[in-house]
Amino acid sequence: MRRGEPVRGVWLALPSVESARLMARMPADWLVVDVEHAPVGAETMTRMVAAIADARGPAPLVRLASPGVENVKRALDAGAWGVIGPMVNTRAEAEAFVAAAKFPPVGQRSFGSAWAGLAFDVAAPDYLRIANEQTIAMVQIENRAALEHLDEICGVPGLDGVFVGPVDLAISLGLGPDSDSRDPDFRRALDEILRAATAAGLPAGIYCSSPEAAAERLEQGFVMVNVATDVAVLSQGVRDRLA
């Protein structure tokens, strides 16, 4: 991402370690365990992250239920290579999120997990040394309120990127739940997010509804896109077989 190269991933909403193990063998760059809008508890998330990390394939990421300290700590202590904090609308919220995700002197993350280093195949002291550089903290931009503070948010030291939640962003703009909206206001919002991220030297990602949408977003300038969601692929696959 730092080199501007696209990274393709898969969204995991099924609370299933077995499904995560299967997906971890796919030629994707990352898998995100969705804890915000999926029925995934802390224990299941921990085991899904471990299953992905042990495959030594895609990077295990977690989209948190909220960007609070407890949620950040649980995901990173489980061994997640990165966390996505939803509904971040101000610089203060972004600063608090980064502080929770990074060890001192960058942030205020506490140290003590016996599992975090296993995801990187290193001992605990080595994990403490590499974690700030090797784990990703991305804020999710998905509300009109955040658009008023983009440069402030993107300027937070220690932040590793921004990730757009297009459905909630569209809703907040009064456009309905359309992640692929062609509305000019929606397009301008995406352009502004890309501008602010680029100016701050941050990569930008976005949730995509399909491979076609992902290709379009890459062309637009985003570098981190999901090309599939496990629930959608499962449902559509069964529909196709039944038909």
Segment 50-84, tens digit of pLDDT:
999 999 999 999 999 999 999 999 999 999 999 99
pLDDT for the residue numbered 217? 97
pLDDT for the residue numbered 63? 98
Smallest CA-to-CA distance from 79 within 34, 36, 124 is with 124
Residue 51's contacts (CB-CB under 8 Å, 6 or more residues apart) are 17, 20, 21, 24
pLDDT bin (cut points 50, 70, 90) of residue 179 is confident
The sign of the torsion formed by the CA atoms of 63, 64, 67, 69 equals: negative
Any idea which residues carry the catalytic annotation?
37
Cα distance between residue 53 and residue 223, in whole Å: 22
Using a pLDDT cut of 90, give the percent of the chain over it: 96
pLDDT for the residue numbered 190? 97
pLDDT for the residue numbered 214? 97
SS3 71: helix
The whole-model pTM stands at 0.96
Q: Beta strand 82-85 with 59-63: parallel, antiparallel or unpaired?
A: parallel
Cα distance between residue 199 and residue 222, in whole Å: 14
pLDDT bin (cut points 50, 70, 90) of residue 15 is very high
Residue 133's contacts (CB-CB under 8 Å, 6 or more residues apart) are none
Q: Rounded to an integer, what is the distance from CA 215 to the centroid of its chain?
A: 18
Cα distance between residue 177 and residue 142, in whole Å: 12
Cα distance between residue 109 and residue 72, in whole Å: 9
- Give how far Cα 176 sits from Cα of 55, 65, 130, Å: 39, 22, 42
Q: Which residue reads 């203060």 in tokens?
A: 92
Q: What is the dihedral of CA 208, 218, 215, 26, to 10 degrees?
A: -70
Q: Residue 180 above 90 pLDDT?
A: no
Residue 121's contacts (CB-CB under 8 Å, 6 or more residues apart) are none
Instruction: Compute the C-alpha angle 109/166/206, nearest 5°.
Output: 60
pLDDT for the residue numbered 241? 97
User: Tokens in use for 77?
Assistant: 């202590």
- The DSSP 8-state label assigned to residue 174 in this structure reads T
Q: Residue 124 above 90 pLDDT?
A: yes
Phi, psi angles (nearest 5°) of residue 178? -120, 105
Mean pLDDT of all residues in 90-108? 98
Other residues' Cβ atoms within 10 Å of the Cβ of residue 114 = 8
Longest dimension (CA), the chain: 58
